[in-house]
């Protein structure tokens, strides 16, 4: 259906639950691409999150049909669903007075590029490409690679100090818009953090999107002194098998384009289904 600007409108939702009730079905039609939007909405609705109010939940309707969704919640900034550039234009026009300078814009490449372009050209802000990600999907138990010595263990409260230390290391290597240490501790508390243990923990990963048909592996980390021994590969492999065997329809994960881990995930059977990009947005500095 062609986008009709005159008949389109932006619809705001007061709560995450209201947003999911109205948009959850549409988002689930492309759940792999929209896993981040769905899991963010569920987190904001549950109260178990590290985001700051105010929140904005919105969708664009075109002739009565949903054609795009967006959530604003700092420190994530604006998180976009898949949509056309015309729909991204409509979001910018309707939200720019409320969201003058989001810290970040991220989502599928086309709408994120369009929104970043508008903030750079039409406001007193600058928008710089921060990262580019491949979105991977796995539908069946992964191809078995050589498994490192050790086994999978779910993290528990006794691992708190270790997780905090690894979170600080992770944040130095790959700085993010959120506090990685706090993110990992929240996952630990929710029972969504796993270790590969060879006498002691050697690698970790976390799971997100638990309210979706498919889970998302949302972080993988091995301290430098334990790298090159296959710990992280074995952890991803075994957790993927366990999740699929427990009834998950698929597994998804995002990897920075060009990262060496891409080759490992592809050997396990993960395949690319899309791309996501992230822009940082900053107010223009005075001369």
Can you tell me the distance from the alpha carbon of 102 to that of 84, in angstroms, rounded to the nearest whole number? 20
Can you tell me the distance from the alpha carbon of 89 to that of 110, in angstroms, rounded to the nearest whole number? 11
Number of residues written out for the chain: 287
Predicted confidence pLDDT, tens digits, the chain (287 residues): 688 877 899 999 999 999 999 999 999 999 999 999 999 999 999 988 889 999 999 999 998 999 999 999 999 999 999 999 999 999 999 999 999 899 999 999 999 999 999 999 999 899 999 999 999 999 998 888 888 999 999 999 999 999 999 999 999 998 887 889 999 999 999 999 999 999 999 999 999 998 888 999 999 999 999 999 999 999 999 999 999 999 899 999 999 999 999 999 999 999 999 999 999 999 876 55
Apex 233 CA angle, 230 and 239, nearest 5: 135
Can you tell me the distance from the alpha carbon of 178 to that of 79, in angstroms, rounded to the nearest whole number? 14
Tell me 102's DSSP state.
-
Topology annotation, domain 140-249 = Aminopeptidase (3.40.630)
**Considering only CA atoms, which of 240, 271, 276 is closest in space to residue 257?**
276
Can you tell me the distance from the alpha carbon of 74 to that of 150, in angstroms, rounded to the nearest whole number? 39
pTM: 0.91
CATH architecture of the domain with residue range 9-133+279-283? 3-Layer(aba) Sandwich (3.40)
C-alpha R_g of the chain: 19
Q: What is the pLDDT of residue 229?
A: 95
**Domain boundary assignment for the chain:** 9-133+279-283, 140-249
Q: Does 140-249 match 9-133+279-283 at the fold level? A: yes
CB distance 101 to 39 below 8 Å: no
Residue 205 β-bridge partners: 194, 220
């Amino acid at each position: 259906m062609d986008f009709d600007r005159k008949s389109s409108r932006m619809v705001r939702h007061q709560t995450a639950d209201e947003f999911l009730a109205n948009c959850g079905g549409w988002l689930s039609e492309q759940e792999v691409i929209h896993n981040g939007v769905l899991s963010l909405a569920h987190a904001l609705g549950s109260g178990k999150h590290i985001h700051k109010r105010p929140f904005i939940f919105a969708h664009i309707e075109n002739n009565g049909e949903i054609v795009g969704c967006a959530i604003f919640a700092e420190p994530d900034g604006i998180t976009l669903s898949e949509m056309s550039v015309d729909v991204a234009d409509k979001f910018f026009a309707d939200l720019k007075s409320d969201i003058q300078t989001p810290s970040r814009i991220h989502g599928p490449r086309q709408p994120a590029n369009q929104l970043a372009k508008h903030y750079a050209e039409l406001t007193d802000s600058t928008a710089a490409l921060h990262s580019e990600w491949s979105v991977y999907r796995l539908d069946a138990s992964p191809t078995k690679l050589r498994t490192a010595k050790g086994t999978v263990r779910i993290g528990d409260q006794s691992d708190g100090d270790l997780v905090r230390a690894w979170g600080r290391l992770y944040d130095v290597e790959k700085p993010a818009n959120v506090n990685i240490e706090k993110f990992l501790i929240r996952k630990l508390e929710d029972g969504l953090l796993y270790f590969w243990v060879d006498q002691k923990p050697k690698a970790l990963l976390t799971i997100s999107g638990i309210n979706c048909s498919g889970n998302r592996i949302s972080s993988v980390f091995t301290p430098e002194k334990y790298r090159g021994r296959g710990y992280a590969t074995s952890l991803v492999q075994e957790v993927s098998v366990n999740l699929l065997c427990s009834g998950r329809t698929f597994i998804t994960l995002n990897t920075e384009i060009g990262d060496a881990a891409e080759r490992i995930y592809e050997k396990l059977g993960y395949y690319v289904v899309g791309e996501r990009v992230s822009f940082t947005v900053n107010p223009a500095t005075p001369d």
